[in-house]
Amino acid sequence: MELELQQAIEVLERTPSTLNSLLRDLSESWLVQNEGPETWSPRDIVGHLIHAENSDWIPRAQIILEHGDERAFEPFDRFAMFEKFTGKSIGELLDTFGRMRAESLRELRLMNLTPALLEKRGRHPEFGVVTLSQLLATWVVHDLGHLAQVTRVMAKQYREAVGPWTAYLPVLGR
Amino acid sequence: MELELQQAIEVLERTPSTLNSLLRDLSESWLVQNEGPETWSPRDIVGHLIHAENSDWIPRAQIILEHGDERAFEPFDRFAMFEKFTGKSIGELLDTFGRMRAESLRELRLMNLTPALLEKRGRHPEFGVVTLSQLLATWVVHDLGHLAQVTRVMAKQYREAVGPWTAYLPVLGR
């Protein structure tokens, strides 16, 4: 599929409610366990999404609209959430993410992006030239990839509990 | 984690609302595309969950409680949904799944499963002896694995649209 703005927004606006449905009021043991050393728990992932919302998507779109490919984006720290969100409950994190996503989508709509603007070029600090359309598609895939990760991490907590059924559950081997 | 009944139910009761949040009223193109030949679309996956609800979890739990390991479960047809659900809208499928899951959980609670009953043995047609606890853990992992699949299938529709960012999006390679 090519990126079509309204279809991308359909996914972006669903992510907070999907995470709410999955994680709010869930037992702590589902929320804090991960896939092993150097991997993330569902709670870490929500923290990461908040941090990305703050410093990645809309700020980078604005840099493209204002500076084109003459100014590179700020590099994005993918591990910042480990310091920033210690001690916050999952409810607080989900509330924060929901508020920030609503604000991001308000700003996105105010950009009135035309097909021509979607092809506008920016500069990634590592990849070089990218387009606004690629940035927005990445936003959507980033959401969906982290939703897949949350559910995979939760599934793996029952790796042993399923006994021989593990053979029919490919998610446990990913 | 070992299976703890209340924590398992927490996940099982969230799956219909999570799928609702992700899929209801979404554009058709997100719903019908898959990962290539012999793979499933988000719509197929909801059909599969309905079919599993009908013929897998509670029926098998009842066989264990009534017959122990003296009677093997009926084999489960993992592809039955392709015939059964043609022509149904995603809204109808989600409504059906939500109703069936609520009924399954009502029946599960009525079983008043004690730790001793959870260790009761049944017979899988292929694996041989399994326990009720393993069956319920499998139900949870099956839900979570298919949620991971729905989001992964959606993410892959933007495989080309993300351009060079594909390098940072592992979900596109799974």
Asked if B165's CB is within 8 angstroms of A134's CB, the reply is yes
CB-defined contacts A:B, below 8 A: 178
Nearest to A169 among B20, B142, B160 (CB): B142
What mean pLDDT do residues A93-121 have?
97
Mean pLDDT for chain A overall: 95
Using CA atoms in the order A12, A17, A19, A22, what is the torsion angle rounded to 10 degrees? -140
* CA neighbor of A9 nearest in space, from A170, A118, A90, A116: A118
Q: List, for residues A27-66, the tens digit of each pLDDT value.
A: 999 999 999 999 999 999 999 999 999 989 999 999 999 9
Residue B154 confidence (pLDDT) above 90: yes
Contacts of A157 in chain B (CB under 8 A): 1
Nearest to A151 among B148, B167, B172 (CB): B148
Nearest to A21 among B21, B127, B144 (CB): B21
Asked if A27's CB is within 8 angstroms of B130's CB, the reply is no
CB B18 within 8 A of CB A14: no
* CA neighbor of A146 nearest in space, from B15, B172, B13, B30: B172
Asked if A161's CB is within 8 angstroms of B3's CB, the reply is yes
Q: Which pLDDT score, from 0 to 100, does residue B140 have? A: 98
> A interface mutation test: which of B31, B162, B168, B172 has the most A CBs within 10 A?
B162
Mean pLDDT check: name the lowest of A71-85, A114-128, B38-52.
Answer: A71-85
Amino acid in position A84:
K
Q: How many CB atoms lie within 10 A of CB A66?
A: 10
How high is the ipTM of this complex? 0.96
Contacts of A21 in chain B (CB under 8 A): 14, 17-18, 20-21
Q: Closest-CA residue in chain A for B16?
A: A21
Residues A65 and B97: their CA atoms lie apart, in Å, by 44
Distance from CA of B169 to the nearest CA of A (A): 7
Residues B81 and B48: their CA atoms lie apart, in Å, by 5
Residues 6+ apart with CB under 8 A from A96: A50, A88
Nearest to A29 among B1, B152, B174 (CB): B1
CB B142 within 8 A of CB B14: no
Mean pLDDT for chain B overall: 95
Distances (CA, A) of B118 to A106, B2, B56, B130, B136: 50, 12, 17, 11, 9
What mean pLDDT do residues A148-172 have?
97
Residue B81 confidence (pLDDT) above 70: no
What mean pLDDT do residues B32-60 have?
94
Q: Which pLDDT score, from 0 to 100, does residue A81 have? A: 67
N- to C-terminal Cα separation, chain B: 25
Residue B77 confidence (pLDDT) above 80: no
Helix (H, G, I), strand (E, B) or coil at A31: helix
User: Rounded to 5 degrees, what angle do the CA atoms A103, A106, A112 make?
Assistant: 150
What is the DSSP secondary structure assignment for residue B158, as one 8-state letter? T
Residue B96 confidence (pLDDT) above 80: yes
Burial class (CB in 10 A: 0-12, 13-18, 19+), A46: buried
DSSP structure string for B17-29: HHHHHHHTT--HH
Q: Model pTM?
A: 0.96
Contacts of A135 in chain B (CB under 8 A): 165
